[in-house]
Amino acid sequence: MTLVSPAAPSPGAPRSRYKKVLLKVSGEVLMGDTPYGIDMNTVDAVAREVAEIVALGVELCLVIGGGNIFRGLSGAAKGMERASADYMGMLATVMNALAVQNALERHGVETRVQSAIPMASVCEPYIRRRALRHLEKGRVVIFAAGTGNPFFTTDTAAALRAAEIGCDVLMKGTSVDGVYTADPKRDPNAVRYDRLTYLEVLAQDLKVMDASAISLMRENGIPIIVFSIRRPGALMDVLTGDGVHTVITEQPPTAT
């Protein structure tokens, strides 16, 4: 397939609220309805949503989790040495990144995978200036292998890359449509927040992202938007100012 950089959006096209976006997709999302691994139909659906966003002229980079293949914390809990388990989890994110890259290119979106762990035969090494140049050319950059260091999650990697690249927002696509007072899959009385502050997330120990990721976004003033990427069209809705989601910023919640 010949890959073509996206054309400028037409005058009647929806307008994104953000110019430069980092989208964090949990590895579990890529499982679809399967119990393990990568469901290519789900990957294709995510790629289709991303392609629609790129067509708006948005500079988009991705961080993909690896929990659908291997999770370092789970491996450590079962007796594996934590650093080795985390490295295995990083390699799982590379596998997911290559799957998403393949799906995006089938939709005509030009991509680059950059890994924090050098593996020249598979993808580029992470180089900040090169990543910025790819984004300027309309390519989607997929950051793989986390931070390249054990003991850090892909949430922290997403926050770090968002700060380094100068993104306007960090969007976290999950299986639920925002941040709740409890796990809505287990507690039917859980209530969704429309807006939170970084400090509220930390003080209430809400399971959105790990504390280091939240703190990094607070220090750099980058808002976090949590939404369900499983719902078709949700990514476009949220970026254009609609859709169900939770926003995490420095500002206190608005009165209702």
What confidence tier does 8 reach under pLDDT thresholds 50, 70, 90?
low
| Residue 11 included in any domain | no
Structure confidence at residue 2 as a pLDDT band (50, 70, 90): very low
Task: Tell whether 3 is covered by a domain.
Answer: no
Task: Tell me, yes or no, whether 10 lies in a domain.
Answer: no
In a domain, 9, yes or no: no
pLDDT number for residue 151: 93
**Is it the case that residue 110 has pLDDT exceeding 80?**
yes
Q: How many domains does the chain have?
A: 1
Q: What is the CATH number of the domain that holds 92?
A: 3.40.1160.10
Digit-coded pLDDT (tens) for 37-53: 999 999 999 999 999 99
Q: What is the mean pLDDT of the chain?
A: 91
Backbone angles phi, psi at 128, to 5 degrees: -55, -50
Parent domain of 107: 20-249
- Given pLDDT bands bounded at 50, 70 and 90, which one contains residue 185? confident
What is the pLDDT, as a whole number, of residue 78? 77
Q: What are phi and psi of 238, to 5 degrees?
A: -65, -40
Q: Kindly state whether residue 35 falls inside one of the protein's structural domains.
A: yes
Is 124 part of any domain? yes
Does the structure show a pLDDT above 60 at 177? yes
pTM confidence score: 0.90
Q: What is the pLDDT of residue 9?
A: 55
- The b/e string for 171-198 (b: 16+ C-beta within 10 A; e otherwise) is bbbbebbbbbeeebeeeeeeeebebbbb
Task: With respect to residue 105, please indicate whether it lies within any of the assigned structural domains.
Answer: yes
Residue 7 maps to a domain = no
